[in-house]
Amino acid sequence: MGTRISTLNIRHGGTKSAEALADRLLGYDADILVVTEFRANAVGARLIDRLAQVGYDTSHPEVGAKENTVLIAARGGIDRSWAFDESLNPRHLWCAEIDGANVCGVYMPQNIAKLPYWEVLINDAKTSDIDLLIADFNTGNNDLDKAPRGAKFIGPEMPGRLIASGYTDMWRSLHPRVREYSWFSRPGDNGFRLDYVFAVPDLARQIKFCEFDHAPRTSGETDHSGFVAVVDG
C-alpha cells in the first residue's frame, strides 16, 4: 500500500467550507497529513475532533485564534513535535516525528518576510535530520513554476538551493517539464505552483505516485489545490 502523504491549504482556517474541507481531508486517507492556514478556533477544534474520531493524532503550535498556521496529523501517532527554529515564528515551520520520520510542515510568509525561513531550511534542515518538508512554500522558480504572464516570485532561487542541500522535489521528479499550478491569482488568473513535498533521497527513490488534486480549488472550498503522494514502505 505504501505511505500516503497529503497536504491542503484551507484558506483562513477553512471557515466558509468547514465541513466540506474536513470531508476532503479525510477522503485523502493519508498516513501523514499537513494542513496549512489552520486556525486554533472553533472550526479548527472541530477539524481536530473529526480527525481524532478516525484515529489521527494532531499537533500545531500555540497561536491566536485568527492566526494562520500548520496542523500536522498522523494516523500512526506523533511521537514529539517542536518548532524548527526558536528564533522564528513557529507558526510557519512546525515539525513532528512520525513513525521514525521527521516531518516539517511549512507555511511560508508572504513577500520578503519568507526569506529568513527559507534560509534556515536551506542551512539546517538536512543537518537537523528532517526527512520531509511539506505544504505551502509560497515560492517557485520563474520558469515552469508560474504562468508566463504571472508576477515573478520573490526568492526564485530558494527551491533550487534547498534541492542542492540534499532534497528532492517529489512532484517535479516525476513531471520534469510539466506546467501545473496549485494557486491562481485574482485578478489575472495566472497560475503558480506553491505547494510541494521535498524529501531526502532515500524516500524520494521510493515514490510511487505524486499528483495535485484540483477539486478543492475548482469547487471553491479553498483557493489551493491539494497534493497527494504515495511512497513505498
pLDDT for 141 equals: 97
Per-residue model confidence as pLDDT tens digits over 36-53: 999 999 999 999 999 999
Confidence of residue 233 (pLDDT cuts 50, 70, 90): low
Instruction: Give the pLDDT confidence of 122-160 residue by residue, as tens digits.
Output: 999 999 999 999 999 999 999 999 999 999 999 999 999
Q: Does the domain spanning 3-231 belong to CATH 3.40.50.11540?
A: no
Higher pLDDT, 187 or 94: 94
**In the prediction, which pLDDT does 123 show?**
98
The per-residue pLDDT of the chain, averaged, comes to: 97
Q: Which residues contact 162 (CB under 8 A, 6 or more apart)?
A: 118, 121, 122, 125, 133, 198
**Residues 162-168: what's their mean pLDDT?**
98
For residue 231, give the amino acid letter: V
Say whether pTM exceeds 0.85. yes
pLDDT per position as a tens digit, 60-94: 999 999 999 999 999 989 999 999 999 999 999 99
The answer to whether residue 105 scores a pLDDT higher than 80 is: yes
pLDDT at 1: 67
Strand partners, 146: 192
Q: Report the candidate in 58, 61, 21, 17 with the shortest Cα–Cα distance to residue 39.
A: 61
